[in-house]
Chain A
């Protein structure tokens, strides 16, 4: 916008007022949650929003008396492995769709695309039977193996790989560069922003999994954090709000930090995906 045309002062105040109002509505659940995590539960259950005993003791209780740290660790392991393997598998299949010529390539690609239409939620029943028969129930593997690849990730990386000039592959072929080396030395470094975006996506998607872990894990040693919070909350409903809010804060603060650090990359990647 042109700087010479400054809007009138009333309009500016209106703008700022609107910004503050919107920010308030977005922030209020966070603020209430964080604030009550500092209050003693006895005061919270009286409906008080102020207390003379503001402390971190709810956090101490959450960490020492619930497996919340273990849940976080489980989620980290699961999300990290899912992300790493998804990056590898998706980039490999995307590479095949762009740089390797073989019969039926387009058909196969459309079949890949078609799977994006199928919600995982509609397939939980046979998948549950499959993992039960494979003996994977209640283990990290059950939350990783079904998500080792994604049609969406393949699609997204294929779009990115198609930006790489075809001549580069031809030249490298004459040079005698194998597919592996071209993939590792040229394609992956060239598309690192898209890879980063997919990494963030798949990590968050895995982190936010809810239905599947709930069906397939039964013990605290493998339970990821979403299901863990559900567990805490159902055990403690209406009893210990302070501690539950503290657990929620313990879970959400790392994600918020990662989000704000990675926001720049994430934003550009998201728009890249959205425009294509």
Chain B
């Protein structure tokens, strides 16, 4: 197969053509064999992807669902069927409900801040000032920062003994904050770091969207003497609303899946204040060996994310139609 892709040998090319040509001569048998051949091609073209998806997406999906109804041994093998007992024990456990609550707070805070600041960056960078492209490059910079680098940067800033913020507080005679060891502040610190990481990507997409708004709209508004703020809310925002929606769903979904920054900065602490859904799955499955319970948590997470993705599909579909 590979040789056919790269083959530049004219003789081979000729041969191939000769092989396929006779098929076109006869009507019915041609159609039939074409259908057959196309099915074979479909199998070859789709086969590799299908195989990977079956093994690493479809199978684990059913397996996770299956495991969520069982007690498991420490190798992850199901032992006793217990029906919905895992679900019931989770939804009545105050620790899990606390995790859910913390996750929702985190997701909402991260999404709101990311969208607002992303818009502010994009709008500011859309102005025509000398050297603006320099600022655009800076604003998109955090896209190149991976989760562990971001964690190191922010751990340093939030560090109680060497950190920047503490020195600043000292300088201003404000009380020192133990950012990562006080529940509320730990959540704040994680939210700030996540938003910072998100901004590069969000900025780029918003910036692109704002650029594609027809400039005639602004010119007309300017002739009317309409203020910049009014223009932003009545021209820019409505015009980029599809992008706004797309980005908000993506941000929401990504925040539900947050793991790296939590693991690196707080490890779910202090006092489980930042023990978000994915981190809890990791703890229950891989630290406590409770695979059944962790599978149940996975199913709940998947349902939450599927819900938001579904909404996104529905809205995108609608947009394609008009």
A binds B: yes
Interface, chain A (partner B; CB < 8 A): 1-2, 5, 12, 15-16, 18-19, 22-23, 26-30, 32-33, 36, 44-45, 47, 49, 88-90, 92-93, 95-96, 100-103, 105, 108, 112-113, 115-119, 121-130, 145-146, 148-149, 151, 154, 175-176, 178-181, 183-184, 207-208, 210-211, 214-215, 225-227, 229-230, 233, 238, 241, 244-245, 247-248, 251-252, 255-256, 258-260, 263, 266-268, 270-271, 274-275
Residues of the A chain whose Cβ atoms lie less than 8 Å from the Cβ of B132: 19
| B76 CB to nearest chain A CB (Å) | 5
Is B238 positioned at the interface, with any CB of A under 8 Å from its CB? no
Report yes or no: A23 in contact with B138, Cβ–Cβ below 8 A.
yes
New A-B contacts (20) at CB < 8 Å, excluding given A93-B48, A181-B5: A22-B135, A23-B138, A27-B138, A27-B141, A29-B153, A93-B45, A101-B38, A117-B306, A119-B253, A121-B259, A122-B298, A123-B298, A126-B64, A179-B45, A211-B260, A225-B146, A233-B152, A259-B144, A270-B208, A275-B212
| B89 CB to nearest chain A CB (Å) | 18
Interface, chain B (partner A; CB < 8 A): 1, 4-6, 16-17, 20-21, 24, 35, 38-39, 41-42, 45-46, 48-50, 52-53, 55-61, 63-64, 67, 75-76, 120-121, 124-125, 127-129, 132, 135, 137-157, 159, 161-162, 164, 166-167, 196, 199, 204-205, 207-209, 212, 215, 218-219, 222, 242-243, 246-247, 253, 256-257, 259-260, 263-264, 278, 281-282, 285-286, 291, 294-295, 298-299, 301-302, 305-306, 309-310, 313
Looking at chain B's contact residues, the main secondary structure is: helix
Report yes or no: B59 in contact with A130, Cβ–Cβ below 8 A.
yes
Q: In the bound complex, how far is the Cα of B105 from the Cα of A231, in angstroms? A: 29
24 A-B pairs (CB sep. < 8 Å): A19-B132, A27-B141, A29-B150, A33-B153, A47-B167, A88-B48, A89-B49, A118-B57, A119-B253, A121-B301, A124-B285, A124-B298, A127-B60, A145-B52, A145-B56, A146-B52, A176-B21, A178-B20, A181-B16, A210-B260, A214-B263, A230-B264, A244-B152, A251-B149
Q: In the bound complex, how far is the Cα of B143 from the Cα of A121, in angstroms? A: 21
Report yes or no: B38 in contact with A259, Cβ–Cβ below 8 A.
no
Q: In the bound complex, how far is the Cα of B121 from the Cα of A130, in angstroms? A: 44
Residues of the B chain whose Cβ atoms lie less than 8 Å from the Cβ of A271: 205, 208-209, 212
Q: In the bound complex, how far is the Cα of B278 from the Cα of A121, in angstroms? A: 7
Q: In the bound complex, how far is the Cα of B229 from the Cα of A3, in angstroms? A: 19
Residues of the B chain whose Cβ atoms lie less than 8 Å from the Cβ of A229: 148-149, 152
Residues of the B chain whose Cβ atoms lie less than 8 Å from the Cβ of A268: 208
Option from A28, A36, A89, A122 in Cβ contact (under 8 Å) with B52: A89
Report yes or no: B61 in contact with A252, Cβ–Cβ below 8 A.
no
Residues of the A chain whose Cβ atoms lie less than 8 Å from the Cβ of B218: 1
Looking at chain A's contact residues, the main secondary structure is: helix
Known: A27-B138, A233-B264, A270-B208. A255 touches B145 (CB 8 A): yes
Q: In the bound complex, how far is the Cα of B61 from the Cα of A45, in angstroms? A: 48
Known: A1-B222, A33-B156. A181 touches B147 (CB 8 A): no
Residues of the A chain whose Cβ atoms lie less than 8 Å from the Cβ of B260: 210-211, 226
Report yes or no: A118 in contact with B16, Cβ–Cβ below 8 A.
no
| A115 CB to nearest chain B CB (Å) | 5
| B182 CB to nearest chain A CB (Å) | 18
Report yes or no: B156 in contact with A146, Cβ–Cβ below 8 A.
no
Q: Whose C-beta in chain A lies nearest to the C-beta of B68?
A: A125
The 3 closest A-B pairs by CB, nearest first: A126-B60, A123-B60, A96-B45
Report yes or no: A259 in contact with B143, Cβ–Cβ below 8 A.
yes
Report yes or no: B263 in contact with A256, Cβ–Cβ below 8 A.
no
Q: In the bound complex, how far is the Cα of B299 from the Cα of A118, in angstroms? A: 10
Residues of the B chain whose Cβ atoms lie less than 8 Å from the Cβ of A112: 49, 53
Report yes or no: A179 in contact with B129, Cβ–Cβ below 8 A.
no
Q: In the bound complex, how far is the Cα of B63 from the Cα of A192, in angstroms? A: 38
Which of A124, A127, A151, A263 has the most chain B CB within a 10 Å cutoff?
A: A124
Residues of the A chain whose Cβ atoms lie less than 8 Å from the Cβ of B306: 117-118
